[in-house]
Each structure stands twice: as structure tokens, then as C-alpha cells.
């Protein structure tokens, strides 16, 4: 993706199922789980570079001893910063008592991150400022361990306002208005109720208070708590949490919008946002890594027992297709094949665009994340040439010469590494501030690979969101090579609608496909349609979310898919660009063919899986018409 888009966060959970002594004896260190957490977070660092956090819970600690420790960082390399601090704490303890290095009893007593239960989180901030207080995991402290709650999530709720008002009506006074705090307090509300109910039940049986605490920890019904807390959540989410005494949970939204995977054996239970992270870190088979099902909660009790329960009624699965196109790492075997297929399915349109002229066409990709789709495109081109060659040979089998065969087989796709990314510079401008001034220097081009004024340059990208990087940087750089024509190919369809489930794409007016559709209305003398849609959107602005209709789709109904693509090309081709410019988009039909298990396509089609989606879309269009440069939720 050439545009800088913030998106889903990442979670990592490790629960040791045996005493620390076991890992010291088998693996030579009680730090085994801590080291695995570091790797599990690093293998998912693509999911969050704005900040990171980690929590360790020590099981069965004596009263008066700290049993929860947390570190969070918004430094440039937050994961490294967190584990440097952990390492310093470990080294300080070892300096005081060398036995702490291998004596797990002393380590657990004296070292902050020596424990049995770990949670890590990686943040891409899409709600609130990028400060430490906004980082996960978040903690709801209490002197009763069974009331202490730690949570982290990969999520976005569209109805935070409803949940916030619910808590106020319940008599609470929330200190902050944010999706994270609201989710934490909603779970905390029902956690308190369950604790209080159990306390009364055991108290009525004459059990002493100290013993009641143990009974509550053993019998607390997390399934009921999670079902009650999340019953009205509208959005995409994977919520992970830990109770102070050691129970752990991960729950997924009923539509399966956000991803979560887990692995369990007799030593450890692991949860992560991406499957290859678990496979790589723990060296296990793919078949042993399972997916948390939509509406399901995976619960790991303090005693090590595992439960899988439905806490929400599953809906039609609409898992986010952008995970497959771009966000998740392409090292997942299925994602790798799907991205290749996305590139391959674009070949017929590409062949038409270059008029089947392989001799004067150069194929490449930008950015690096588009490389897998590029390989798929290359396979499709080679398959076409194979069939072409077979046909020519079949038609001329009686008078084939060696020279003719050489000529037939010499025609191959011209593949070049045209754009080279300056990785250090990209790291330097990873925050929004300063990006616009420096973005044009992120890529260098390979001079001499394109024949000036003769060659067509085909560049495949994962997706085109705003188009600003294409317009302000990439096209200008590519045009320095003086190609006759530049064809930008997007492996994703036209992004026409805002996301509301965790991707920072909420401002409708920023989408280049939307801009193109609006310009087409103006060219066709139908700009008044925008005002009519605005009136309809305003009229339903305060209706319940499940009554709101998608009127924005009417903007796109008045132009063909190809017309929008051509207008996008017109927008990104500034007067300084000498080459002809064409844009080719993936179709939604081909997307579903390539990614059959991730059918969530609301940013392409406007078909939101939850009622809150249309509410966000409605607000986004109103903001656009009223000139408000703000998020729609």
C-alpha cells in the first residue's frame, strides 16, 4: 500500500500450563515464556508501530507482594524499549543475587516479569492521541484479584456513545470517553456483578471471607460475564483479557471481522492475531493452530483447563479482506497464495491495456508489500505466453525452423526492480508529522531499465486509498524514467466507503475513488445529486443505527467502474507528468474468488455487516458536505 494507512492492532498471549521449574529444567531458563513473548510481538510488529505494551501476572503470590507488572512505550522502537527495560530489571536482580538467574523461586519473588501469564499488545492508534495512557494493555485494579481486570484488544466499536451512556445510566461516572476504556468498564461492570453475586451466595452459606475469595476465583463464570458485557457491541473486535487470579480470555466478534488464532499443548497456551507468528515462534504445524470462531470466547482457567464457548450468536462470517490484501504478513501460506491469485486475476485487463505488447512493456511493483501480488501477475503473464506459444507452434508445426522457435520462446515478460525503498528514511518518518515534506524521497528508481518514450511501465500496488502518495511522489519519480505510458494496477478494488472496524479510513472525502465519482457527477451535470443525498443523510442522522440507509451508494450508481478508474487516473496525473497514465483496479468478484474465506468488503461495496457501519458512513458523508475534517466515529 503506497498510502500510509494505520490499521489493526496486534495481540499476543502466553499462558504457561506448567510450573516455572519445568521450563528451567527443560529449556534451561525460567525466562522461556518471556523470550517467546518478545518474539511473538516482534513477528507481529507490522500490526502496530505507534506503541506497545506488555503485562505479566504471577500466579498464587502471597498477599503484600506485587503480582501484576506492566510496561508500555511510545518510543520509536517500542517493543525493543519494553524488553530492554525488562532485561535491565532481570540483570539488576541477578546482580543482587546470582541465584535468580536459574532459581525460579527467587526470580518469581524478585523479578517483575517472572511469571506464568503474559500479554502483549501492538498499537496502531486510530482513536485518541499517541500517548502512553492510550496504550494497551489497560488495567482495572482492585484489592480482590478476581475483580482485577487486564484487557487489550484489536478492535473498533461503532457505538461507543451508546455503551458510554449505558454506564452513565447505570449510575457510573466514567473518567474517560474512549473505546478502550468503555470496553474495559463494560466487562468490569459485569465482572463486579458476578463477584458480588458469588460473594453473597457463599456468605449466606457461612463461609469465611478469606475462603470466599478462593471460591470466587474457582467458580467465576467468565462466559456469562463476557456474554453480558458484549451483547450490544457493534463493531469488529478481538478482546483479550486476564483476571488478577489467572483466568484468561479471548473473544471474537460475531461476524469474525478481526482475526485471532491460538495454539495449545501440554506446556503452553498461545494466542496471536496472526497465524505465522505462532508457527514461527513455537515451531508448530499449521494444522495445530486454530482460529477463534466468530462469537466465540476462548477461556483459559487458572487451573489450566480450556473452554471454548459462544458468547455471541455467530452471524454470516465477513472477515476483513484487507487482512489478506495487505495488513497481515504474507508469510501465512494461505495469504501468500491469495495475494498471488489477486495479481494473477488482473492479467486479462493488463494485457488489454498494453495491447499484448510484451516487447515494449516493463513490469514491476511498489511498495514491497505488493511483491507477492506481482509474482501472481507474473505467473498469469507467463501462462498467457505459454498458451500463445503452444498455439503458434500448433498452427505452424509443418514449417517450424530453429530461428522461428527462438523467436517464439524469446518473448518473455520484462521484469525489473524499478522502485527501491529507502528503508531508513521510511523509519525516520514513520509518524504523520513531516511525512508530506519527505515522502517524495522514500523511493529511488532504477535508471536505464526503461527505454525512454517507447516503453510502457506497469506497476502493481496492493491498493490505492487516498492516491496522494501516487500523485505527489510515485508518479513523479516514475516519470523521470520517461516511459511512454504508466499503468498503475491495484490488487484491491476501488476503496469507496469508510471503514469503522479498525482501519483508519473514515474520512470519505479523502478517498480518491470517491473524489473521482464526485467529479464525474459534476462533468455529467448531476452535482445536485450530492445535495439530495446530503438532505437524506441529515434526515436520518439521529435515527437508531439499524434504521439508517446507505444513500452514498447512489453517487457511484451513476458511473461505471471503468469510468471511475479513468477519472482516478486523471486526478493523479498532474501537469508535470509527461507519460500517459492509466489505472486498473481489481474487481470485487475477483477479490472474492482469490480470498473466498474473507468476504468482508464493506470499504469496496458499502455493504456493512453491522448496523453501525451505515451510521458511520452517514456521518462521514455529512462531515464531507459540511467541510468537517474529522473522524466519523
pLDDT digits 0-9 by tens, 379-398: 999 999 999 999 999 999 88
Determine the Cα–Cα distance for residues 32 and 620; give it in Å rounded to an integer: 47
The verdict on 473 and 589 lying in the same domain is: yes
In this predicted structure, the answer to whether residue 487 has a pLDDT above a threshold of 50 is: yes
Cα(476)–Cα(190) distance, rounded to whole angstroms? 56
Beta strands at 51-57 and 248-252: parallel, antiparallel or unpaired: unpaired
- The whole-number pLDDT of residue 131 equals 80
Decide if 322 is inside a domain.
Answer: no
Within this chain, do residues 275 and 356 fall inside the same structural domain, yes or no?
no
Domain termination residue (choose one: 278, 298, 317): 317
Asked whether residue 290 falls in the same domain as residue 427, the answer is no
Which CATH number belongs to the domain containing residue 158 in this structure? 3.60.20.10
Rounded average pLDDT over 548-558: 98
The half-sphere exposure of 386 on its side-chain side, counting CA atoms within 13 A, is 6
Residue 336 located in a structural domain: no
Q: What is the largest CA-CA distance in the chain?
A: 102
Which domain range does residue 165 map to?
10-317
End-to-end CA distance of the chain: 24
Cell output for 212: 470466599
Is 308 a domain residue?
A: yes
Weakest-pLDDT range from 120-129, 163-172, 317-326, 584-593: 120-129
506 domain-assigned: yes
- Of 317, 333, 355, which residue sits at a domain end? 317
Residues 305 and 450 placed together within one structural domain of the fold: no
| Same domain flag for 454 and 536 | yes
Residues 525 and 613 in one domain: yes
Give the mean model confidence (pLDDT) for residues 548-576. Answer: 98
Helix, strand, coil content of the chain in percent (nearest 5):
45, 15, 40
pTM of the model: 0.92
Q: What average pLDDT does this structure show over 355-379? A: 96
**Count of CB atoms situated within 10 Å of the CB of 370:** 28
Gap between the Cα atoms of 501 and 522, Å rounded: 31
pLDDT (tens digit, 9 = 90+) per residue, 64-114? 999 999 999 999 899 999 999 999 999 999 999 998 888 999 999 999 999
Do 589 and 442 fall within a single domain? yes
- Coil, strand or helix at 544: coil
Residue 171 is assigned to a structural domain of this protein: yes
Query: Domain check: are 309 and 357 in the same one?
Result: no
Most confident listed range (96-100, 172-176, 188-192): 188-192
DSSP letter at 287 equals G
- Mean pLDDT of all residues belonging to the chain: 93
pLDDT, tens digit, for every residue of 22-68? 999 999 999 999 999 999 999 999 888 789 999 999 999 999 999 99
CA distances 295 to 188, 223, 233, 316, 614, Å, are 19, 12, 11, 11, 21
- Residues 251, 354 within the same domain: no
- Regarding whether 313 and 276 lie in a shared domain, the answer is yes
pLDDT of residue 362: 98
Number of domains into which the chain is organized: 2
Q: 154 and 55 in one domain?
A: yes
Distance from C-alpha of 116 to C-alpha of 62, rounded to nearest angstrom: 15
Give the C-alpha distances (Å, rounded to integers) separating 365 from 348, 415, 542, 569, 631.
18, 10, 45, 17, 31
What is the per-residue burial (b if ≥16 Cβ within 10 Å, else e) of 614-632? Answer: bbbbbbbbbbbbeeeeebb
pLDDT tens track for 194-235: 999 999 999 999 999 999 999 999 999 999 999 999 999 999
Confidence of residue 132 (pLDDT cuts 50, 70, 90): confident
pLDDT tens for 420-445 read 876 555 444 344 445 555 656 677 89
Do 352 and 275 share a structural domain?
Answer: no
Over residues 258-289, the pLDDT tens digits come to: 999 999 999 999 999 999 999 999 999 999 99
Q: Does residue 113 lie within any of the structural domains?
A: yes
Q: Is residue 242 part of a domain?
A: yes
Helix (H) or strand (E) holding 435: helix 435-438
Q: CA-CA distance, 275 to 273, in Å (whole number)?
A: 7
With respect to residue 214, please indicate whether it lies within any of the assigned structural domains.
Answer: yes
Amino acid at each position: 500500500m503506497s498510502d500510509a494507512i494505520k490499521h489493526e492492532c496486534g495481540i499476543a498471549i502466553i499462558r504457561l500450563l506448567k510450573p516455572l521449574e519445568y521450563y528451567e529444567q527443560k529449556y534451561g531458563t525460567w525466562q522461556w515464556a518471556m523470550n517467546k513473548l518478545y518474539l511473538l510481538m516482534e513477528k507481529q510488529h507490522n500490526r502496530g508501530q505507534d506503541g506497545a505494551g506488555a503485562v505479566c501476572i504471577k500466579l498464587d503470590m502471597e498477599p503484600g507482594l506485587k503480582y501484576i507488572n506492566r510496561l508500555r512505550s511510545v518510543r520509536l522502537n517500542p517493543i525493543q524499549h519494553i524488553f530492554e527495560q525488562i532485561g535491565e530489571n532481570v540483570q539488576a536482580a541477578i546482580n543482587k543475587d546470582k541465584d535468580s538467574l536459574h532459581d525460579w523461586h527467587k526470580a518469581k519473588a524478585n523479578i517483575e516479569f517472572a511469571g506464568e501469564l503474559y500479554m502483549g499488545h501492538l498499537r496502531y492508534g486510530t482513536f485518541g492521541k499517541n500517548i502512553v495512557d492510550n496504550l494497551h494493555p489497560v488495567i482495572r485494579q482492585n484489592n480482590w484479584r478476581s475483580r482485577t481486570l487486564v484487557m487489550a484488544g484489536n478492535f473498533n466499536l461503532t457505538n461507543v456513545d451508546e455503551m458510554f451512556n449505558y454506564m452513565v445510566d447505570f449510575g457510573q461516572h466514567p473518567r474517560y470517553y474512549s473505546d478502550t476504556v468503555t470496553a474495559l468498564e463494560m466487562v468490569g461492570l459485569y465482572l463486579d456483578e458476578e463477584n458480588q453475586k458469588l460473594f453473597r451466595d457463599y456468605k449466606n452459606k457461612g463461609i469465611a471471607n478469606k475462603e470466599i475469595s478462593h471460591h470466587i476465583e474457582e467458580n467465576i463464570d467468565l462466559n456469562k460475564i463476557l456474554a453480558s458485557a458484549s451483547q450490544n457491541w457493534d463493531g469488529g473486535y478481538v478482546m483479550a483479557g486476564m483476571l488478577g487470579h489467572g483466568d484468561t480470555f479471548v473473544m471474537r466478534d460475531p461476524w469474525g471481522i478481526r482475526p485471532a488464532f491460538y495454539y495449545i499443548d501440554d506446556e503452553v497456551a498461545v494466542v496471536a492475531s496472526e497465524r505465522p507468528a505462532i508457527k514461527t515462534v513455537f515451531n508448530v504445524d499449521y494444522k495445530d493452530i486454530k482460529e477463534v470462531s466468530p462469537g466465540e470466547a476462548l477461556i483459559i482457567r487458572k487451573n489450566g483447563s480450556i473452554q471454548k464457548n459462544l458468547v455471541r450468536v455467530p452471524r454470516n462470517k465477513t472477515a476483513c479482506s484487507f487482512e489478506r490484501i495487505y495488513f497481515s504478513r504474507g508469510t501465512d501460506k494461505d495469504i501468500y497464495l491469495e495475494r498471488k491469485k489477486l495479481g494473477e486475476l488482473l492479467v486479462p485487463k493488463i494485457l488489454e491495456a498494453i495491447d499484448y505488447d510484451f516487447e515494449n512493456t516493463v513490469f514491476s511493483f511498489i511498495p514491497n508489500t505488493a511483491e507477492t501480488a506481482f509474482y501472481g501477475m507474473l505467473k498469469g503473464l507467463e501462462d498467457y505466453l505459454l498458451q500463445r506459444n503452444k498455439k503458434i507452434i500448433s498452427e505452424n508445426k509443418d514449417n517450424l525452423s530453429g530461428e522461428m522457435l527462438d523467436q517464439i520462446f524469446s518473448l518473455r515478460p520484462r521484469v525489473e526492480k524499478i522502485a527501491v525503498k529507502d528503508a531508513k528514511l521510511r523509519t525516520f518518518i514513520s509518524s504523520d508529522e513531516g511525512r508530506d515534506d519527505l515522502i517524495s524521497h522514500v523511493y529511488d528508481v532504477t535508471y536505464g531499465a526503461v527505454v525512454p518514450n517507447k516503453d510502457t511501465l506497469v506497476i502493481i500496488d496492493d491498493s490505492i486509498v487516498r492516491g496522494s502518495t501516487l500523485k505527489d511522489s510515485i508518479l513523479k519519480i516514475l516519470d523521470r524514467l520517461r516511459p511512454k505510458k504508466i499503468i498503475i494496477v491495484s490488487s484491491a478494488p476501488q476503496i469507496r466507503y469508510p471503514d469503522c472496524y479498525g482501519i483508519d479510513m473514515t474520512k470519505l472525502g479523502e478517498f480518491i475513488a470517491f473524489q473521482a465519482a464526485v467529479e464525474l457527477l459534476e462533468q455529467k451535470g448531476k452535482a445536485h445529486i450530492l445535495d439530495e443525498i446530503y438532505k437524506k443523510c441529515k434526515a436520518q442522522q439521529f435515527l437508531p443505527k439499524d434504521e439508517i440507509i446507505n444513500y452514498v451508494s447512489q453517487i457511484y450508481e451513476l458511473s461505471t467502474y471503468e469510468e471511475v478508474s479513468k477519472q482516478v487516473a486523471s486526478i493523479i496525473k498532474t501537469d508535470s507528468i509527461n507519460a500517459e497514465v492509466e489505472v486498473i483496479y481489481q474487481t470485487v468478484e475477483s477479490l472474492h474468488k482469490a480470498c473466498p474465506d474473507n468476504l468482508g468488503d464493506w470499504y469496496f461495496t458499502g455493504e456493512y455487516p453491522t448496523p453501525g457501519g451505515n451510521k458511520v458512513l452517514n456521518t462521514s458523508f455529512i462531515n464531507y458536505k459540511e467541510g468537517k475534517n474529522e473522524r466519523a466515529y
